[in-house]
Amino acid sequence: MGIDQQRRILVPALGESPISRRDAIRGALAFLTAAVPARPAAASARAKAVIQIWMWGGPCHLDTFDPKPEAGYDYCGPLDKPIKTNVDGIVIGELLPLLAQQADKYSIIRSMTHGLNAHETASYIVQTGRAPGGRVVYPCAGAVVSLFKGMSAGYRGLIPPYIVLTQPQGRFSEAGFLGTRYTPFATGGDPAQARFAVEGIVLQGVPDQRQRDRRALLRNINTLQQAAAGDASMKALSDAEEQAYELILGDGGKVFDLSQEKDEMRDRYGRNTFGQSCLVARRLVERGVPYVTINYQGWDTHRQHFQIMRQRLPQMDRGMAALLQDLTGRGLLDSTIIWWSGEFGRTPKVLWEAPWNGGRGHYGQVFSAVVAGGGFQGGRVLGASDAKGEDVKDRPVYPCDVLGSMYELLGIDPEGKLPNPQGLDARVTPTAAEGVATGGRLKELM
Residue 244 within a domain: no
Residue 248 within a domain: no
pTM of the model: 0.84
d(CA 257, CA 270): 16
Residue 402 within a domain: yes
d(CA 414, CA 400): 10
Residue 223 within a domain: no
Q: Residue ranges of the alpha helices (H) in 34-70? A: none
Cis peptide before 314 (omega within 30 of 0): no
Q: Please answer whether residues 105 and 378 qualify as being in contact, where contact means their C-beta atoms are separated by less than 8 angstroms.
A: yes
Q: Write the CATH number for 393.
A: 3.40.720.10
Residue 207 within a domain: no
Number of separate domains in the chain: 1
What φ, ψ does residue 323 adopt, rounded to 5°? -60, -45
d(CA 370, CA 275): 18
**How close are the terminal C-alpha atoms of the chain, in Å?**
35
Residue 173 within a domain: yes
Residue 414 within a domain: yes
d(CA 195, CA 345): 34
Q: Please answer whether residues 168 and 175 qualify as being in contact, where contact means their C-beta atoms are separated by less than 8 angstroms.
A: no
Query: What does DSSP assign to residue 300?
Result: -
Within 13 Å, how many C-alpha atoms sit on residue 257's CB side? 12
pLDDT digits (tens), the chain, 446 positions: 444 444 333 333 333 334 343 444 344 444 444 444 444 444 578 999 999 999 999 999 999 999 999 999 999 999 999 999 999 999 999 999 999 999 999 999 999 999 999 999 999 999 999 999 888 999 999 999 999 999 888 888 888 999 999 998 888 889 999 999 899 999 999 999 988 888 866 555 555 555 555 545 555 565 655 666 666 665 555 544 455 555 555 666 788 999 999 999 999 999 999 999 999 999 999 999 999 999 999 999 999 999 999 999 999 999 999 999 999 999 999 999 999 999 999 999 999 998 999 999 999 999 999 999 999 999 999 999 999 999 999 999 999 999 999 999 999 999 999 999 888 999 999 998 888 999 999 999 99
Residue 40 within a domain: yes
Structural domain boundaries enclosing 131? 34-196+257-445
Query: What does DSSP assign to residue 351?
Result: B
The continuous run of DSSP H or E covering 283 comes out as: helix 273-286
